Structure 1
């Protein structure tokens, strides 16, 4: 999330990260390295994160108005210049915006 230009409290809240950020002592949410216009949320269908299932992905897809990559543990974002793609042997989704 820290790489998105649009990382703010609203986005953190929609993605379920706001409480965690406040626990880490963050009072004001802002992007640390604002490089991209999209977000990444990892661990789709991961055994280590059982709540990040298709229903979770569908809820996020219905609520976000910004580009969001939902990646499983066998997927990654590749950025080469202006080109962005997903390298994957698993499952991933691009939702929002």
Structure 2
């Protein structure tokens, strides 16, 4: 699986160009599945926000479902345990890309495990995973306790597919908890390699190689010396 881990989606030409490179063909030739599950675990989200993101509507909508896919469908992970695997497994295997929306990362991790999608990941070698916020954080070892919303007293351990953590929405306007200084404190608690990225930045992981793709700002903490662009 090839990973495109974003904070805000496909928000600029540089990120879109990398997405096309990872897909290996134009977006218009690709079949996508959109996963909104993480929103249900985030108190700031609602049925209205799920609809606007799924439909590609709303003032804060970033490029994800509205990029011009050949086809796009919804894959709701909370539903999968109630239907036969031989129904939904072909949907996933035949997709070119999984578009994984933001919300609450640990809730998303829970349903990835409960649904069976987590067990399937190692076999999805030809699929691109495009994460937005929690959809990116879920692939990391830890998200940091300040991002726990669904189960505040539980573990902040996520899937551990990659070996670094992600602080999203760096310096987002009006979000005092997402400043560079907040990210630095978060990284101290995380301990391991950690990136803080803004909504114009993405992290790609292809065959174990990590690359930053950005028209914005980002920081790397806890890796030899602190780095920034």
Same fold (TM over 0.5): yes
Q: Which of 9, 12, 20 matches 2:144?
A: 12
2:206 matched to which residue of 1? 80
2:220 matched to which residue of 1? 94
Alpha-carbon spacing, 1:77–1:56, altered in 2? closer, same or farther (3 Å): same
TM-score (norm 1): 0.71
What is the number of equivalent residue pairs in this alignment? 87
Q: Distance in 2 between matches of 1:42 and 1:80?
A: 20
Q: Which runs of 5+ in 1 are unaligned?
A: none
Instruction: Calculate the aligned-residue CA RMSD, in Å.
Output: 2.4
Q: Distance in 2 between matches of 1:30 and 1:60?
A: 14
Superposition deviation, residue 17 in structure 1: 1.7
Contact 2:144 2:186 in 1 (8 A): no
Alpha-carbon spacing, 1:54–1:79, altered in 2? closer, same or farther (3 Å): same
TM-score (norm 2): 0.33
1:3 matched to which residue of 2? 139
Map Cα deviations across residues 56-87 of structure 1 (whole Å, 9 max, x no partner).
12322433311111001110001111110110
Q: Distance in 1 between matches of 2:188 and 2:177?
A: 17
Q: Distance in 1 between matches of 2:156 and 2:220?
A: 24
Q: After the TM superposition, which of the residue ranges 69-78 and 48-57 deviates more from structure 2?
A: 48-57
Larger Rg: 2
- Secondary structure of 2:177's match? coil
1:39 matched to which residue of 2? 165
- Secondary structure of 2:150's match? helix
Alpha-carbon spacing, 1:65–1:36, altered in 2? closer, same or farther (3 Å): same
Q: After the TM superposition, which of the residue ranges 41-50 and 84-93 deviates more from structure 2?
A: 41-50
- Secondary structure of 2:196's match? strand
